[in-house]
């Protein structure tokens, strides 16, 4: 008997059968089919393991083309098939559009879809910061996941913005949809108002799950998009054109299943007449143009570390509860140690209260320490005692103030009355004008006074090269 079973198993392997298919042969219902009873509208999918999974409408049509594809069976027959412990995944006919959150059935790793790229989300807590809901995660076949190119691992919301192609709304103005694309000349992210939402259906975006961002995230303004021609004018005159032009017709068609997207050359000939323009109307939307606007460094007002007359200036906009700011704080101290009097470091407040409820309180406290000339000592202590994400114990602010060497009663009065609330607000406004999309965000000024924005907690090796170039 054991020999017979072994031979059967060998034949199954040779013929390409798996144990799942052998099991399915003994199942009372056919695997890969949909069933319901005459007493209920609920439809179930029978798996290769002879278990049943309840399908919602979207899931059903990701497997089948019509309701007529489901079969009516007796309740006894359907009950005989065990209910699967795992919820149903999307079927092979489903292809995730840009903005989808997807995972495979064998892994908990979640990916955020941006065009042809699957971007791994390093920490699911980031979904809220990205304006996304964890309930939106869809399980898809591994074969579907494999069709996407590997994108960037998302460790901060700034990394999402830096890729472009991000569709979003503002929480205080949900009637408008915006699309982030890099400017063809500067590479800076531009926000384009999508005036005609229906065109999103034709270009691979989903409109049912658009991220909602707080208004603290501000961007420079690009030309509005009203038709598909304008969309592809903006889309294919930036760095992403180089990526898509190398994918090939079959890949693009497979991904988007849309004749307009079959070939980049077809798209570039579709109603495109003028290059993208930057809107410079001061009264339109955020009242700013494509230039970086910032407050000049004031020796009597700003927090400056290093030589006041240094050749190179770095203005950092930071949030004390941002874990990446904590990381970058160490990087900046390395730079100061290496370059000494040739570099000065200016710190400006950019607490993002929508994701870090304690950040503003810590910013106010640091300003009170700064009033007594101990801003940098206090800032070092704060970053040393928090892991970010509101982990600092605010009840210890007085202790940290004492450790920094300030007069505690004076500090307490300053903090209690929020004496520097206006200064913090001015720093926030300055950060937004300067193009900050998240923290840390740094403006690097070279010896000629030319400015270069640096987004995120770049490593010291990269910052070192930037400073060398600036010198």
72-81 burial, b at 16+ Cβ within 10 Å, e below that, comes to: ebeeeebeeb
* Secondary structure element (H or E) that encloses residue 70, with its range: strand 70-72
Amino acid 229: pLDDT:
64
Give the pLDDT score at 138: 92
The residue among 247 and 119 whose pLDDT is bigger is 119
* pLDDT tens-place string over residues 135-155: 889 999 998 998 888 888 988
Q: Which residue shows structure tokens 């209910």? A: 83
- Give residue 234's pLDDT: 60
* Beta strands in 267-327, from DSSP E residues, in sequence order: 303-306, 312-318
CB-CB neighbours of 24 under 10 Å: 19
Which of 224-233, 304-313, 319-328, 413-422 is the least confident region?
Answer: 224-233
Query: CA distances (Å), 220 to each of 237, 283, 358, in order?
Result: 17, 13, 28
Q: At what angle do helices 375-384 and 359-371 cross, to 10 degrees?
A: 150
Distance linking the first and last C-alpha atoms of the chain: 81
3-state secondary structure of 39: coil
The overall average pLDDT reported for the chain is 79
> Rounded CA gap, 92 and 141, in Å?
7
The pLDDT assigned to 94 comes to 86
**Residue 276 near residue 268, CB atoms below 8 Å:** no
Tokens of 171: 């929480």
Query: What would the pLDDT profile of 326-370 be if each residue is shown by its tens digit?
Result: 889 999 999 999 999 999 999 999 998 877 889 999 999 999 999
Say if residue 25's pLDDT is above 90. no
Q: Would you kindly state where each structural domain of the chain is located, as residue ranges?
A: 24-87, 101-159, 165-268, 303-470
> Distance (Å, rounded) from C-alpha 43 to C-alpha 183?
48
Which is it for strands 82-83 and 51-55: parallel, antiparallel or unpaired?
A: parallel
241 pLDDT above the threshold of 60: no
Per-position b or e across 382-418, b if 16+ CB within 10 A of its CB: bbeebebeeebeeeebbebbebbebeeeebeebbeee
* Rounded Cα–Cα distance for residues 351 and 308 (Å): 25
CB 324 within 8 A of CB 454: no
CA distance 43 to 52: 10
Q: Which residues of 196-215 are buried (b: 16+ CB within 10 A; e: fewer)?
A: eeebbeebbbbeebbbebee
| DSSP helix/strand/coil, 23 | helix
Nearest CA to 347 among 317, 377, 313?
Answer: 317
Please tell me the CATH code under which domain 303-470 is placed. 3.40.30.10
Dist CA 368 CA 107 (whole Å): 48
User: Who wins on pLDDT, 449 or 408?
Assistant: 408
> Tell me, what's the pLDDT at 157?
79
Label residue 390 by pLDDT band (50, 70, 90): confident
Q: What gap in Å lies between CA 401 and CA 379, rounded to an integer?
A: 10
Angle between helix 375-384 and 323-339 (nearest 10) = 130
Summarised one tens digit per residue, pLDDT across range 185-221 is 667 778 889 887 777 766 678 877 888 888 878 777 8
The partner residues of 442 in beta bridges, in order of sequence, read 316, 454
How many other CB atoms are found less than 10 A from the CB of residue 442?
26
Give 13's pLDDT tier (boundaries 50, 70, 90).
very low
The first and second tokens of residue 325, run together, are 């700011």
Of 323 and 6, more confident? 323
When comparing pLDDT for 263 and 223, which is higher? 223
Establish whether the linkage from the previous residue to 229 is cis, with ω within 30° of 0.
no
Condensed to tens digits (0 to 9), the pLDDT of residues 95-131 reads 888 889 999 999 999 999 987 889 999 988 888 888 8
């Amino acid at each position: 008997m054991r020999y017979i079973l072994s031979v059967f198993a060998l034949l199954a392997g040779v013929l390409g059968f798996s144990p799942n298919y052998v099991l399915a042969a003994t199942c009372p219902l056919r695997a890969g089919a949909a069933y319901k009873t005459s007493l209920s509208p609920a439809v179930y999918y029978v798996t290769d393991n002879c278990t049943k999974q309840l399908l919602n409408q979207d899931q059903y049509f990701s497997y089948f083309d019509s309701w007529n594809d489901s079969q009516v069976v007796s309740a006894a027959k359907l009950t005989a098939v065990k209910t699967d412990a795992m919820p149903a995944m999307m079927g092979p006919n489903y292809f995730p559009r840009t903005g989808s959150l997807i995972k495979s059935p064998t892994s908990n790793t979640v990916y955020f879809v941006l065009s042809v790229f699957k971007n791994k989300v390093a920490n699911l807590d980031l979904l809220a910061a990205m304006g996304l809901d964890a309930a939106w995660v869809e399980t898809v076949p591994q074969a579907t996941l494999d069709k996407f190119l590997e994108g960037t691992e998302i460790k901060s919301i700034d990394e999402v913005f830096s890729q472009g192609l991000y569709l979003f709304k503002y929480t205080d103005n949900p009637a408008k949809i915006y699309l982030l694309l890099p400017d063809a000349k500067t590479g800076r992210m531009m926000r384009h108002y999508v005036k005609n939402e229906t065109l999103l259906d034709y270009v691979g975006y989903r409109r049912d799950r658009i991220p909602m961002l707080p208004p603290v995230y501000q961007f420079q303004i690009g030309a509005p998009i009203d038709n598909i021609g304008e969309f592809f004018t903006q889309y294919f005159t930036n760095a992403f054109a180089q990526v898509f032009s190398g994918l090939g017709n079959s890949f693009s068609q497979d991904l988007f299943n849309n004749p307009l997207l079959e070939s980049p050359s077809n798209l570039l000939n579709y109603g495109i007449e003028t290059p993208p323009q930057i809107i410079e109307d001061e009264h339109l939307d955020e009242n700013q143009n494509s230039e970086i606007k910032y407050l000049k460094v004031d020796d009597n007002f700003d927090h400056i570390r290093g030589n006041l007359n240094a050749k190179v200036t770095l203005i950092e906009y930071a949030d004390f509860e941002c874990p990446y700011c904590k990381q970058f704080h160490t990087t900046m101290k390395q730079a100061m140690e290496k370059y000494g009097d040739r570099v000065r470091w200016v710190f400006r407040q950019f607490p993002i209260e929508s994701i870090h409820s304690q950040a503003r309180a810590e910013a106010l406290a640091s300003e009170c320490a700064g009033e007594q000339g101990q801003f940098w000592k206090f800032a070092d202590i704060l970053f040393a005692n928090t892991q970010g994400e509101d982990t600092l114990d605010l009840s210890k602010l007085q202790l940290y103030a004492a450790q920094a060497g300030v007069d505690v009663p004076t500090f307490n009065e300053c903090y209690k009355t929020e004496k520097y609330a206006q200064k913090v607000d001015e720093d926030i406004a300055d950060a937004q004008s300067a193009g900050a999309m998240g923290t840390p965000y740094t403006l690097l000024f070279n010896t000629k006074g030319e400015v270069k924005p640096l987004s995120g907690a770049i490593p010291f090796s990269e910052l070192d090269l930037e400073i060398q170039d600036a010198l």
